[in-house]
Amino acid sequence: ALSVILIVSAIVVFRQIDYTQTKNLGYNKDNLVVVDLSDVGTEKMGTYLDEVRRLPGVRGAAATGHGFVEGGDRRSTSGLSWPGKDPEVTVETEIILVDEGLIELMEIEMATGRSFAHALQDTTPQVIFNQAAIDFMGMEEPLGQQVNVWGDDMEIIGVTKDFHYLSFHTPVTPQAFLLAPRYSSYAMIRIEAGQEQAVLASVESVFADLYPDGLFDYTFFDDTYQAQYEAEKRVAKLSSYFTALAILISCLGLFGLASFTAERRFKEIGIRKLLGSGEWRVVQLLSGSFLKMVLMALVIAIPVSYFFTDRWLEGFAFRIDLEWWFFVGAAILTLLITVGTIGFQLIRAARIKPIDSLRIE
């Protein structure tokens, strides 16, 4: 039963990890370098980005006020208000400070309206919300409406499709993009695949020219993203080790039990063969008790494994479904391991000559 539970658990953990790697995040995280300029100031950010964009192998560059994943600088407000808002209702809204090109660089899709890169040149403060924020506010026609963020009246110029700003443990929350280049201290640079080291050296050289006394602090965006799931990857590794160990112990136990059964029923096998039973019939007779034992273990293990894996998945706001084949696959694998383990001993016992067993007796 323990082997079945561990097999199912390993399947579920690996499938959930694969889900975090393959599900569409709503933006493109590949080939992104994040340079932290918070220690050197943002006064030269525009110049730095302009110089970086001219480098060979750089596909684009923009600025944001945080690292875009858990662990980066984060700002939020519960002071968002809009026309028709219930005074008793508060919503924690994630504030994402960006420059004009960040939404395009990250390849975040617009559901409606325009991004800051295509915003009209006027003096009205502007804001872009994600779909979750618009749904929470109950706006059917959000474009052009006025909202108040951090005490400032702003016009909604666009709505992005929801994207996974945080890890899959966390639901998509209301988010607001504010155009604030002077407060955006992270340079996001997308580079050509396969040119990472050469381009990174050039990016660092530009940094050294502008900030001769500064420390070049960078990370690859994908590394930061993957770090969110380190705990799950450790669980996956441990579950694979424990599953292999449990299967090995089960095989040794079954092998020993099969040997003991064959020896204990040695005379019975000889008599049955003497009375006309074939080898296949003897194998069926000997294996019946083992298969019944395995089936009983499956009856216990499958509900237990469902309970524990479902509880583990509850830690994710976005998760896989527990599909039937996880459990059927584990059951079939268990039966195959059982048959393979005891088969050799039982077949060898079934091939005994009747006269040999009777002579020993």
Separation between Cα atoms, residue 300 and residue 94, nearest integer Å: 45
Separation between Cα atoms, residue 325 and residue 152, nearest integer Å: 54
| 8 A C-beta contact, residue 111 and residue 191 | no
Structure token digits, residue 283 = 């194998």
Q: Which of 90-104, 201-215, 292-306 has the highest mean pLDDT?
A: 201-215
Separation between Cα atoms, residue 16 and residue 33, nearest integer Å: 26
* pLDDT tens-digit map of 209-264: 999 999 999 999 999 888 889 999 999 899 889 888 988 888 888 777 766 666 66
Q: Which amino acid is at 82?
A: W
- Tell me the pTM: 0.81
Separation between Cα atoms, residue 291 and residue 346, nearest integer Å: 13
No. of helices (H) and no. of strands (E), the chain: 11, 11
* pLDDT tens-digit map of 319-353: 999 999 999 999 999 888 887 777 666 666 555 65
Higher-scoring residue by pLDDT: 76, 215: 215
* pLDDT tens-digit map of 160-173: 999 998 889 989 98
Residue 54: phi and psi, rounded to 5, are -80, -10
> What residues does each domain of the chain span?
2-16+230-360, 40-214
| 8 A C-beta contact, residue 345 and residue 19 | no
pLDDT for 184 equals 87
Higher-scoring residue by pLDDT: 27, 265: 27
Q: Which amino acid is at 351?
A: R
Structure token digits, residue 305 = 């494994």
